[in-house]
Structure 1
């Protein structure tokens, strides 16, 4: 009888693990598609600017409006998901993205496109912030594995997005937007059928919980470092395509495919190895240092498209390391609900992503493209200094256990 009970209990645990893994893969797959939407517009930025009579600075606002709304709304996603549940929040976010991405495909002006991207950012906020906490939740007790899965889906999305954008963009700049709407529709069905319902938290998250969480010094410090790093990240993503003179949509897509592929490989395989070999702190320091070298290299060779492409691809390797390790640190802060930590951390880093494209475009207009990337490198350098100042925060749970 005891053996039978043990087997039943063990089988039940396996069933839970299987369901949790299936749910995690469903959310990760959808995350990949969501992040495809960010890089999908890279190959068509020059075409949009040309056909809608927009300057590069105006065109980079497609990133700024999107990232700004995403960042601000992320502060309140915990409030929403704790009331309607993670699954419904994810689906609501996807439906909003479908609507605004489809409308963006019909836009006739750059201003209209900027506003529609802002609406797209609202859906993105509901989805991305909830997705991270959902993967961590369904893979209970495996935070680092969950974050690696999340960052891997981000890397794959960032890699495939520009490639798909290049293929569709070679037909028309409108096609990538319709492509996103179609992919998000598929993702909505995947979440609806494959994600098992996630229990709502026993205690509902207050409206301003995300803002209050920023009073935690560790979360705030790691968030500021992420903001400074993301300034470099989105300067590269939003402005580097304008330096690839003579490159077709497909060629730009291949450049950013290489960038995203290295980002994914570093997130999934290299980051965990380096974390164990030389620890999180040293890995982040080295990755930030080499990332700012890549940005400086792009700035120095701004007039040579082939070298700009090389700098972009190489930067992906170091960005993948930083993404995984910074997110792991932020999500392992004790005494803060993971959905709230995810929202607050994402707000700060996406705010950096919102400012960067606008500043990049303006610096290039006032001075030149080289200054744009030198300034981005300088912001990353400040982030590196912050890591040194707050070195006590840069150890994961596994490293604490070893100590």
Structure 2
């Protein structure tokens, strides 16, 4: 009688899921508090945008670097180093007494928070190709839950102090690092070939230049991501300036937005795409996306603000999976890696440009970041006119 050993992959994926989830809860705790904390230190809207931008800029540089290092040193040590780095950044946040220290905390946080590609490589190591897409969804689920739980928890902790919230985020990351050290096994075999190949940006750009469809999708993705990233530095500031909300209430606003987006992405998109296709869903989602931004920016009541966030969550939750699905389906099978890598670079660049733009516009007028962001969505919608649904006849240029 042969006894089959239990498959260790589910346990590894569960451990990884909780590692990513706890990391994102720590990030979410700080999300609604940073603009308030910086403003208390005299920061302008533009400087708050810079605080958000520098984190994304470090991630843009470090994410591929961590991925390549994990091919040489293993996934587990890099993930643990990232968690310890995130904990250090939140401890700096908790003790910050100047904008300079806040900037240092965000830089350190950018280094520590750049390990998502390593988590994706971990999944690739332990999952057969036929099941890899479903397993990658664990990271999306962790993102969604993290951006619901984290801001709500941060808002609650802010009623004690920002310092308490910072130390709580640091403690969660340190606990997470300890758990990863104890229960997360190494996934990479020393003899295995790299699963995180070096991303060649010039080559990817040359390949994208061969396809009008891919170029247009990347333009749409840039506009939509810039539009959404305008919220991160300004939503808390708007809630305070217009409705005298505190950090606790701002945390609930971010949690509401995250919840609606998770429901849209996790439950509705997968049912709608097979029926209408990514292109139609993308175009339809642009309308609540833009309307939500305008309603948030121009709202004169709390009810209007909440309605705008719901519309925004529905629009964003429908648009982003659709545009990424179009990108994947429009690229040649042998160019998938280049296309998706280029998409990741475009998204990261948008998260650098968007907050910087929004912070500067906020200093001019509270509603301006949202009006301009809605305009970016409108430009993105215009750019979808000549997109084709893969499998259909392309529209005339």
Aligned to 2:92: 103
1:130 aligns with 2:130: no
SS of the counterpart of 1:165? helix
Matched, 1:322 2:310: no
Distance 1:391 1:109 in 2: 51
Task: Extract structure 1 runs of 4+ deviating beyond 6 A.
Answer: none
Instruction: Please show how residues 1-400 of structure 1 align to structure 2 within 5 Å.
Output: 11=4, 15-16=6-7, 19-125=8-114, 127-140=115-128, 141-199=130-188, 201-203=192-194, 209=200, 212-217=203-208, 222-244=217-239, 245-301=243-299, 303-327=300-324, 334-335=333-334, 344-366=342-364, 368-392=365-389
What per-residue deviation string (whole Å, max 9, x for no partner) do you get for residues 277-301 of structure 1? 2222222222233212211222232
Report the CA distance between 1:249 and its aligned residue: 2.1
Q: Would the aligned equivalents of 2:36 and 2:237 in 1 still touch at CA under 8 Å?
A: no
Contact 2:326 2:389 in 1 (8 A): no
Distance 1:80 1:157, change over 3 A: same
> 1:66: how far off?
0.7
How far is 1:35 from its partner? 2.6
Could you tell me which runs of 5 or more consecutive residues in structure 1 were left unpaired when the two chains were aligned.
396-403
Query: Partners in 2 of 1:272 and 1:22 — Cα distance?
Result: 26
Query: Post-superposition shift, 1:64?
Result: 0.9
Structure 2 vs 1, CA of residues 118 and 216 (structure 1 numbering), >3 Å: closer, same or farther? farther
Structure-2 separation of matches of 1:235 and 1:370: 11
Verify the 8 A CA contact 1:227 1:352 in the aligned structure 2.
Answer: yes
Normalised TM-score (structure 2) = 0.84
Question: Cα distance 1:359–1:259, how it changes in 2: closer, same or farther (>3 A)?
Answer: same
Aligned equivalents of 1:100, 1:108: Cα separation in 2: 14
CA distance in structure 2 between the partners assigned to 1:315 and 1:360 by the alignment: 16
Change (3 A) 1:285 1:57: same
- CA drift at 1:211: 5.5
C-alpha distance in 1 between matches for 2:390 and 2:58: 29
Q: Give the gaps of 5 or more residues in structure 2.
A: 393-397
**TM-score of the two chains, using structure 1 as the length reference:** 0.83
SS in 2 for 1:174: helix
How far 1:113 moved relative to its partner? Answer: 0.5
Question: Matched residues in 2 for 1:327 and 1:192: separation?
Answer: 34
Q: CA deviation at 1:142?
A: 2.5
| Count of residue pairs brought into register by the alignment | 380
SS in 1 for 2:334: coil
Q: Is the 8 A contact 2:80 2:177 kept in 1?
A: yes
CA distance in 2 between counterparts of 1:203 and 1:250 reads: 44
Residues 89 and 251 of structure 1: CA distance in aligned 2, closer, same or farther (over 3 Å): same
**1:103-160 per-position Cα deviation (integer Å, ceiling 9, x unaligned):** 22211111320232022111111x1222234335534323442343222211111111
Q: 2:244 is paired with a residue of what secondary structure?
A: coil
Q: What's the offset of the Cα at 1:337?
A: 8.0
Deviation at 1:383, TM superposition (A): 2.6
Root mean square deviation of aligned Cα: 2.9
